[in-house]
Structure 1
Amino acid sequence: MMRSLWTAATGMIAMQTHIDTLSNNLANVNTTGFKKSRAEFEDLMYQTLQIAGTQTQNGGRLPVGMQIGMGVRPVTVHKFFTQGDYKNTGNPFDMAIEGEGFFKVDMNGDDVYTRAGAFKLDNDGRVVTAGGHVLQPEFTVPAETSSVTVTETGHIAALDKNGATLAETDIEIYRFQNPAGLNAVGRNFYRETDASGDAVAGTPGDENFGTIAQGYLEGSNVEMVDEMVGLIVGQRAYEINSKAITTSDGMLQTAINVKR
């Protein structure tokens, strides 16, 4: 009976992790470029009372063993990089990647990567994120610029009122062998890790690299209905595990009262 108390407790802890993950997904349903996560679990060790295939006294063999599980534990929170919906903003500094890839941003000297292309201009005319982190390669829009264009292949140009080019550069995007292995550091940024592999730079539109859509933003890939169903299932699983604890406690109480 004591085993069941601890086993059910691991189930409650696991469901709490599940609910926490879903809650974060729902909280970011309107976050630009946000990618949803899913908590994944594995069963714990087993207490083996009989081993399948053990020879019996009459010369036969046990067709089935006897193993009692010790519960569950969270093993990973997997992030999914499927594309979100695209929204037409008309803002020339909003950019969305159609397909695979990330923008590279300089965050206090460190390279970080993002799918959120809601860029702005700082006081020096540089293209930056909402937090002031500079898009790489750095591009400065001259004061006399009349319009800014970004092609599907990442060529960004600042034009004067006559259409003459004042400044230009090419925006590269970056892919990872295993994007789920990236380290999310908040503010829509990711850092590469040994699990993700090294960032591979490429020109938008090349093989396996997405293209850039100017004037669009990529929304979150969270599906609210799926998350709400997951919340209901997680809540019921949490409740049933708590019921198992209550049942075990009642059985212990009964055993204690036998002596009285």
Structure 2
Amino acid sequence: MMRSLWTAASGMIGQQFNIDTISNNLSNVNTTGFKKNRPDFEDLLYQTTRTAGTPATEETLVPVGVQIGHGVKVSATQKIFTQGSLQNTGNVSDVAIEGEGFFRVLMYDGTYGYTRDGAFKIDSNGQFVSSNGYRLMPELVLPENFIRESVAISQDGIVTVNLPGQDDPVTVGQLELYRFTNPAGLQAVGENLFKISNASGDPIGGQPGFDGMGKTVHRFLEMSNVEIVKEMVNMIVAQRAYEFNSKSVQTSDSMLGIAANLKR
């Protein structure tokens, strides 16, 4: 069977994966704190029928060899952690990160999740939680009789509120951010959360605005960093590449048909 059939088929499979990745990016264009994926490809093994440098005569060498490739495969999918645009929401429990860092939440199984989604809620206990009820860590609990609209979070993560009968705001907590040596090595688990892996390294905690951490921006949310125009261009390129590979399959099939019809 012709090698080109399988080579072109690997190209079609690779471009289908490319389209799947682009579709996921576009479907999350309005997801708070979402970071787009980029697929990376690599060529497959080569069959070497003649090695470069093989002696041609006693005094000369073959300058180039003969190698035949076997197609392409997906080598990695990488999260691109570029800054998303900030949107002013006016909500007292919304916090965006401008710069490097993640919020940490405590999941139901006792493990930590890391997120750029700062769309927190204040539950019945006055505690900051994620949309799925995961508690922000370190815990941030507001006093029972706090004035909701007085909640303020500074760029270095200090949380203050006003209490009835008091003119001066009261400090009730301190936000912390966490960064990683290799954030692209984090494992995405859905719900806008990441978990640490051996590739990401251990989390490095710190106060916002210090030691390389980003700053916190109150009453703002970080939007997705998906760029629709670029994704559409990538989709067109992937579609055309898929078509070209399908043409290779058709051409190989046509050549096989010609060979099969030689004897008539």
| TM-score, normalised relative to structure 1 | 0.97
Distance 1:243 1:44 in 2: 20
CA distances 1:54-104 after superposition (whole Å, capped 9, x unpaired): 001464211110000000000000111000000111111100111100000
**8 Å CA contact retained: 2:158, 2:171:** no
Distance 2:263 2:161 in 1: 88
CA distances 1:20-61 after superposition (whole Å, capped 9, x unpaired): 111100000110000011000000000101111100146421
Is the aligned partner of 1:218 residue 2:222?
yes
Is the aligned partner of 1:201 residue 2:205?
yes
Superposition deviation, residue 124 in structure 1: 1.9
Distance 2:263 2:122 in 1: 79
State the match for 1:127 in structure 2.
128
Structural mapping, 1:86-101, within 5 Å: 86-101=86-101
- Aligned residue-pair number: 260
Moved over 3 A (4+): 163-167
Is the aligned partner of 1:8 residue 2:22?
no
Unaligned 5+ residue runs, structure 1? none
Structural mapping, 1:178-197, within 5 Å: 178-197=182-201
Is the aligned partner of 1:148 residue 2:157?
no
Distance 1:219 1:167 in 2: 28
State the match for 1:229 in structure 2.
233
**8 Å CA contact retained: 1:141, 1:167:** no
**8 Å CA contact retained: 2:100, 2:213:** yes
Distance 1:142 1:169 in 2: 11
State the match for 1:47 in structure 2.
47
State the match for 1:245 in structure 2.
249
CA distances 1:204-230 after superposition (whole Å, capped 9, x unpaired): 111211110100000000110000000
Distance 1:254 1:22 in 2: 38
Superposition deviation, residue 165 in structure 1: 5.0
AA at the equivalent of 1:91:
N
Superposition deviation, residue 123 in structure 1: 2.1
| TM-score, normalised relative to structure 2 | 0.95
Unaligned 5+ residue runs, structure 2? none
Look up the SS of the partner of 1:23 in the other structure: helix
Structural mapping, 1:61-76, within 5 Å: 61-76=61-76
